[in-house]
C-alpha cells in the first residue's frame, strides 16, 4: 500500500531487464518509449556496485552522454565538451554547468525498476 502511494509521487516506473549484467565502471544507454512521441534516452551506470540512472541529454548544450566505459571508472561523459558527470549525484566535475537529470532506480533479481 505504501509503495503504491509513493509511486504517485515518483512518476511511472519502467522495468528494464538484464541490468545485473552491467559491469562495474560501465554505462549502458537505453531508450524509454518512442523517441518520436516524447520518449527519452537514459544512461544506466554502475559505480561502487550500485546502479544509477542519468538522462542522456547533457544539460550544457544538448550533447549526449555516452555509454561504454566510465571515465576514471566513475564519471559519465558528454564528449561534446568533455564534461564529466557523477552518476551518484548528477553533478558535473570541475566545470560550470547544471547537474545532469537523475532518475530513481531500484535493482532486484538482475533487473531494475526505473521511475521516469
CA-based nearest residue to 87, from 28, 35, 34 = 28
pLDDT tens over the chain, length 116 residues: 555 544 445 578 999 999 999 999 999 999 998 777 878 999 999 999 999 999 999 998 889 999 999 999 999 999 998 999 999 999 999 878 899 999 999 999 999 999 98
pLDDT for res 28: 97
Q: Please give the span between the terminal C-alpha atoms of the chain, in angstroms, as a whole number.
A: 20
pLDDT for res 102: 97
pLDDT for res 10: 54
Q: How far apart are CA 1 and CA 30, in angstroms?
A: 30
Second-level CATH architecture of 2-115: 3-layer Sandwich (2.102)
Label residue 105 exposed, middle or buried (CB < 10 Å: 0-12, 13-18, 19+).
buried
Q: How far apart are CA 23 and CA 47, in angstroms?
A: 9
Residue with cell 552491467: 22
pLDDT for res 2: 52
pLDDT for res 31: 93
Cα-Cα-Cα-Cα torsion 71, 66, 10, 106, nearest 10 degrees, comes to -60
Contact 45, 52 (CB under 8 A): yes
Q: Which DSSP category does 40 fall into?
A: E
Amino acid at each position: 500500500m505504501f509503495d503504491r502511494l509513493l509511486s504517485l509521487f515518483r512518476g511511472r516506473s519502467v522495468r528494464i531487464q538484464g541490468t545485473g549484467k552491467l559491469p562495474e565502471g560501465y554505462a549502458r544507454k537505453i531508450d524509454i518509449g518512442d523517441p518520436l512521441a516524447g520518449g527519452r534516452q537514459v544512461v544506466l551506470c554502475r559505480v561502487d556496485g550500485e546502479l544509477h540512472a542519468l538522462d542522456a541529454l547533457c544539460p550544457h548544450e544538448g550533447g549526449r552522454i555516452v555509454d561504454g566505459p566510465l571515465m576514471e571508472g566513475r564519471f559519465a561523459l558528454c564528449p561534446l565538451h568533455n564534461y564529466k558527470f557523477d552518476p551518484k549525484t548528477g553533478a558535473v566535475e570541475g566545470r560550470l554547468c547544471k547537474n545532469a537529470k537523475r532518475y530513481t532506480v531500484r535493482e532486484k533479481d538482475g533487473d531494475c525498476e526505473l521511475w521516469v
